[in-house]
Amino acid sequence: MPLAIPRKLIVLGDSGVYGWGDPEEGGWCERLRRHWMGLPEGPVLYPLGVRGDGLERVAARLTAEVSCRGELRRQRPQGILLAVGLNDTARVGRPDGRPQLAEDAFLFGLQQLLREVRTIAPVLVLGLTPVVEEVMPYAEVLWYDLQAVRRYEGLLEEACLDADVPFLPLVDQLLADPAWPQWLDGDGVHLNGEGHRAVYERVRRWPALLEWAGLQPLLAATPLV
């Protein structure tokens, strides 16, 4: 009897998807890849994170990244997860400088990207992670702040609601834990190992992602820890 072809998920994003800050476990996306690889019918996951990428750069590499990962029988991937937006919030040069991508341009570009992605495969979108403002600027030039992170995550949610796309908010969930500052690297922007673990635990239990992956029965049979 031929083996079933596993479904494939492309994860497009920035250094969070790449796993920067988590040298031992490789980040939340790598943790999810390993978790799924250990399940009998777990999907194949391709983490495609590039440090520094914002919305425009992710959109620019969408077609090339997706088209070469059909893997078997020239199939296209069956799902795409977008995890992008934090870099777009940063202000350049000073705390009141221009953001790397203005809010109206971010929303418009995201709406366009969601329309394009949906012609390829079902899409899901991940929210943003908090930053520690007191250690800014990052790399001596970029200023991140929590208020901007919240606004841009709100734009992500707005676009997803309009397009009927599953969205997992993160920033307020993470901020609700008093330990959240300890989940960030010394630069105040990148998650460390504990931060990646916290995101991973939320992503792997995300009902919309589990439904896409066909793993709901496995979740029900596995006690939460």
- Where does residue 85 rank: exposed (0-12), middle (13-18), buried (19+ CB within 10 A)? buried
CATH number for position 37: 3.40.50.1110
Residue 223 located in a structural domain: no
pLDDT at residue 10 greater than cutoff 70: yes
What band does 5 get if pLDDT is binned at 50, 70 and 90?
Answer: confident
* Token pair belonging to 207: 């009902």
148: left (phi over 0), alpha (psi -120 to 50) or beta: alpha
Residues 4-15 have a mean pLDDT of 90
The two beta strands, 123-126 and 167-168, are parallel
What are the beta bridge partners of residue 49? 13
Residue 187 located in a structural domain: yes
pLDDT digits (tens, 9 = 90+) for 67-87: 877 665 567 889 999 999 999
Residue 114 located in a structural domain: yes
What are the beta bridge partners of residue 3? none
The two beta strands, 123-126 and 79-83, are parallel
Quote the CA–CA distance of 223 and 192 in Å, as a whole number. Answer: 26
With CA atoms as reference, report the closest residue to 170 among 135, 192, 209, 200. 200
Residue 3 located in a structural domain: no
For residue 37, the number of C-alpha atoms closer than 13 Å in the C-beta half-sphere is 8
pLDDT digits (tens, 9 = 90+) for 138-196: 999 999 999 999 999 999 999 999 999 999 999 999 999 999 999 999 999 999 999 99
What band does 6 get if pLDDT is binned at 50, 70 and 90?
Answer: confident
Residue 2 located in a structural domain: no
Note the pTM of the prediction, 2 decimals. Answer: 0.92
As a whole number, the mean pLDDT across the chain is 92
pLDDT at residue 41 greater than cutoff 90: no
Domain count within the chain? 1
Whether residue 207 has a cis bond before it, omega within 30° of 0: no
Q: Give me the domain span that covers residue 141.
A: 8-217
Residue pair 139/180 in contact by the 8 Å Cβ criterion: no
Query: How many other C-beta atoms lie within 10 A of the C-beta of residue 2?
Result: 4
What band does 40 get if pLDDT is binned at 50, 70 and 90?
Answer: confident
Q: What are phi and psi of 201, to 5 degrees?
A: -60, -35
Residue 16 located in a structural domain: yes
Q: What is the pLDDT of residue 71?
A: 62
pLDDT digits (tens, 9 = 90+) for 82-122: 999 999 999 999 999 999 999 999 999 999 999 999 999 99
Quote the CA–CA distance of 21 and 101 in Å, as a whole number. Answer: 24
Residue 93 located in a structural domain: yes
Q: What is the pLDDT of residue 202?
A: 97
Residue 1 located in a structural domain: no
Q: What is the pLDDT of residue 72?
A: 59
* Token pair belonging to 216: 């709901």
The letter for the amino acid at 90 is A
What are the beta bridge partners of residue 44? 8
